[in-house]
Amino acid sequence: MIFLNKKRKLILAIESSCDETSVAVIENGDTILSNVVASQVKSHQRFGGVVPEVASRHHVEEITLCIEDALAEADVKPDDLGAVGVTYGPGLVGALLIGISAAKAFAWAHDLPLIPVNHMAGHIYAAHFVEPLQFPLMALLVSGGHTELVYMRETGSFEIIGETRDDAAGEAYDKVGRVLGLTYPSGKEIDELAHLGEDTCHFPRAMMKEDNYDFSFSGLKSSFINTVHNAEQRNEELIVKDLAASFQASVIDVLADKTIRACKEYPVKQLVMAGGVAANIGLRDRLSKEVTEELQGVTFIVPPLRLCGDNAAMIGAAAFVEAEKAHFADYHLNADPSLSFTTI
């Protein structure tokens, strides 16, 4: 086991798959000693979405500073570390390559093993900082790029039982936010507005009655856009908080319904919700209530808000599991922008 020659089981973790450069130092896979996150979101806001080339340039500027800060904040020296974990997919290829190159250079310079980590596995393992994960478990992964129900029979094993056929939930939030003239990313603002309004539009709940665990959000998005355009053409006043509440009600109904159904069909000890959209207060409240009422003996775990978005601490937690399984990479490790769970 790689950590045997060290007093403490410390991993340096690096995340750069999208628009956050992040470096963390994690002890025993469950304790965060530091978790430095340099967000680029302000640079991308004027474009209404992440511009890959801009993201890569920011990662280059930030990565070494983040490594230095993470080590200093954790009060750890490179020689104390047992391994370097890094996100190698899914994500933007240029952005991933910056983190991977930095991780390889650091690992080579300090003679440390390199651990490749799937970003989506990282999102699930963020919950491990709240409570030790117990298996089997169901994970609802909801982010800007993914919407998936993942069944884990044991640690490090992932089976996608349902996923979106088109837009991810976070992507839908950001697209309708743009139509309303909100700042990117608009999930948080729509969530806040939704709590002030009523579901007056009754948008469709796609695929809710179908006998599978897949999702679809593009019809909801089109319906939303049509409603806004029709009102504009008729010079009718739009009540933004009601539009937000109607949109959010549809998203939550579908996500909650399918997730609870999946937890009834599959034997599970825990339900984990993870990814940027897991910050959604409406979705957290709804699932928490339904798990208590309908799923006896199942614990619902959602990471705290700061661990829902992209961060390296979650990559460190997932890297620890990979290290225990002796899943290491050599210096040929490459970025895999469309990495899925089936390939790890």
For residues 341 and 118, the answer to whether their CB atoms sit within 8 Å is yes
Question: What CA–CA distance (Å, rounded) separates 334 from 344?
Answer: 14
Query: Does residue 90 touch ligand KG4 according to CB under 6 A?
Result: no
Smallest distance from ligand KG4 to CB 84, Å? 21
| 197 belongs to the binding site for ligand KG4 (CB under 6 A) | no
Tokens 């750069």 locate to: 16
- Choose between 81 and 314: whose C-beta lies nearer to Zn ion: 314
**Interface with ligand KG4 includes 147 (CB under 6 A)?**
no
- Is 310 near ligand KG4 (CB under 6 A)? yes
Residue 148 is a binding residue for Zn ion (CB under 5 A): no
Q: Is 9 in the site for ligand KG4 (CB under 6 A)?
A: no
* HSE toward the beta carbon, residue 151, CA cutoff 13 A: 16
Q: C-beta of 75: minimal distance to ligand KG4 in Å?
A: 28
Q: In the complex, which residue's CB is closest to ligand KG4?
A: 276
**C-beta of 286: minimal distance to ligand KG4 in Å?**
12
Least distance from ligand KG4 to the Cβ atom of residue 14, Å: 15
For 24, the enclosing helix (H) or strand (E) is strand 20-27
Question: Are 149 and 325 spatial neighbours (Cβ–Cβ below 8 Å)?
Answer: no
Instruction: Indicate the length of the chain as a whole number.
Output: 344
Q: Which does 309 bind (CB under 5 to 8 A by kind): ligand KG4, Zn ion, none?
A: ligand KG4
State the nearest-atom distance from the C-beta of 171 to ligand KG4, in Å.
6
Nearest partner of 256 among 296, 226, 285, 227, judged by Cα: 285
DSSP for residue 90 = S
What is Dmax (Cα atoms) for the chain?
A: 72
- Strand locations in 95-234 (E): 114-118, 137-142, 147-152, 159-163
Coil, helix or strand at residue 189: helix
Nearer to Zn ion, 171 or 310 (CB): 310
Q: Which residues contact 296 (CB under 8 A, 6 or more apart)?
A: none
H/E segment holding residue 31: strand 31-39
Is residue 19 at the binding interface for Zn ion, with CB under 5 A as the rule? no
**220: contact with ligand KG4 by CB under 6 A:** no
* Beta-bridge partners for 260: none
With contacts defined by CB under 5 A, name the span among 36-44, 100-108, 140-148, 283-291 that binds Zn ion.
Answer: 140-148
Q: Which is nearer to ligand KG4, 105 or 201 (CB)?
A: 201
**Omega of the bond prior to 303 within 30 degrees of 0, cis?**
no
Sheet with 10-15: list strands edge to edge: 31-39, 20-27, 10-15, 83-89, 114-118
Which residues, 271 to 290, sit near ligand KG4 by CB under 6 A? 275-277, 279-280
- Helix orientation angle between 281-294 and 240-265, rounded to the nearest 10 degrees: 30
Asked if 35 interacts with ligand KG4 (CB under 6 A), we say no
Question: How many angstroms separate the CA atoms of 50 and 52, rounded?
Answer: 6
Using only the alpha carbons of the chain, give its radius of gyration: 20
Is 303 a binding residue for ligand KG4 by CB under 6 A? The answer is: no
Contact characters 87-126, Zn ion, x per CB under 5 A: ----------------------------------------
What mask of x and - would describe binding to Zn ion in positions 308 to 327, judged by CB under 5 A? --x-----------------
**Minimum distance of Zn ion from residue 261's CB (angstroms):** 25
> In angstroms, what is the minimal distance from the CB of 200 to ligand KG4?
20
Contact footprint for ligand KG4 (CB under 6 A): 18, 143-145, 170, 173-174, 185-188, 191, 275-277, 279-280, 309-310
Contact footprint for Zn ion (CB under 5 A): 143, 310
